[in-house]
Structure 1
Amino acid sequence: MVKVLKTGLFSTIQDLGRHGYQDYGVPYSGVMDMYSASVANVLLGNDEYAAVLEITMTGPTLEFGCDTSICVSGANISPKINDTLIKLNKPISVKNGDIISFGNLVWGFRAYLAVLGGFKTENVMNSYSMYQGVTKQSMLFKNDTLLIDVPLKDFARKHATIKIRETHFTTEYIEVFRGPEFEKLSKGQQDSLFEQGFTISKENNRMAYQLEEPLMNDLEPIITSSVLPGTVQLTPSGKLIILMRDCQTTGGYPRVLQLKETSINILSQKFTGNPIRFMSSTNSE
């Protein structure tokens, strides 16, 4: 087991999401950055659906109650074991009683802690992903106990490596497709979406990212229609809202763009004040 000594800013258990229940209004949820989470699981030899701990900006402090192996990927939040810095994207053995903690945020925004075999917390609708109203807990709390498998022996693959895409954390470009209501925009509005830069506002979380700069909008609201992670909505006030993993399943704002899956991953590593630019996927081939 793993005991939560401190929670950090916002730490949750996530896997690849809750699929097949959107008709009932249940969000997908799942890890915000599937790329980084998959790196951690692959390096440990876990199944791709294994649940990981998603850590946002400020990390928790955890005490391990058994020997196991871990891997930390994604943002660099200065992870430490017993106050000694450890490397990202590398399988590491931990012993019973070891404490992992996190320090300063160096780059990125969300880190992922994988354990051998994955976390074994509450499973609802075939997913371990925490979400308020679906699971009993929507985030970690102090003194929580997280169940994990106790391996028969140390499986840490000490020489396992993987090349990390640096641009995943540095690029400002977000590749998108045209949304269902894109053609209703004027030529000037369409050009503005791709020619001007945008800034992530302080209103950013697992449900949606809002952008600071408005886009002139004279479109009529649409009949409530389906939305999904990566849908870019345009509000009557001209606010652009990018839906993320915990988004609702329907919405009434025009859907002007749709992020590629890789773009959702990239955006999840950005936070307040970071610049982004939309880039048409058809122009990136």
Structure 2
Amino acid sequence: MDDRPRISSPSPYATFSRGDWAALRADTPMTLNDADLERLSSVDDPIDMDEVEQIYLPISRLLAFYVAARHQLFRATQRFLGHSETRVPYIVAVAGSVAVGKSTTARVLRALLARWPNMPKVDLVTTDGFLLPNAVLARDGLMGRKGFPESYDVQSLLRFVSDIKAGKGRLTAPVYSHLVYDVVPGERMTIETPDIVILEGLNVLQTGERPKNGRVTPFVSDFIDFGIYLDADEPMLRRWYVERFLRLRETAFRDPKSYFRKYAQVSKQEALAAAETLWSEINLPNLRENIRPTRPRADLILKKGESHRIEEVRLRKI
């Protein structure tokens, strides 16, 4: 019998249990209350104070160190160059599958970061606004690929993140309505001289093949300072998606303006079948082909368990 100790394969990540990660909160103060959490969470992605204390406060503390280090590097560069320029925003990306809880994570992080002692200005932008309008997707036969990389106005998104990193003071981004399932014509959100921008979306960590003709082709992920990937097993994601679809059938889908209002008018069994089809034909292929392959690019991977609680944290080693 071989009694030699087994050597685990090397990993670029340090892995933490929930308890070990929670201990890294140290003295980071809690700045949110129950009313804040009720406003920030969603019906399909519940979050409680324990989750904030054990998972999100350590993340906030870690980001405080990272942002401070970036500022020191910026000042060192300015000293080297012999001139002073406006500091550029720090971009935090939140990526992951449909129904994994990206929106709640992004909102909670924004609230925590904006309440640091120095009160930084934190903006949250979702890449949904950069989806091509439904009319364009329908014209090009892409409605069944909505959420896939080809369904986005990639050039506009690249210009937006490039302008953020160029330090442009006032920028606007398109607005997306989940009710009408489309970009809102003529509506824009404004961000102005933020310290931190949280960019939330399915494919924000994605890259692609470089062209062979030598042309420079940037990707959105090239502009990200810190990437977070929300992870969960496929059966959980499928269940959460279907459960969310059925809840929306009883609520938002009943709005006459809802793109999905037809599912509020059919039987529960028919709605269930539609949700399963949308998951298996659109969302699951997108997860496997485009979203999950970006997970190794993340600096922080948050693995969720059955109850939406984050059970494991993996932090990229520096």
TM-score by length of 2: 0.22
Question: Highest Rg: 1 or 2?
Answer: 2
Q: Which has the higher strand share?
A: 1
Q: Which has the higher helix share?
A: 2
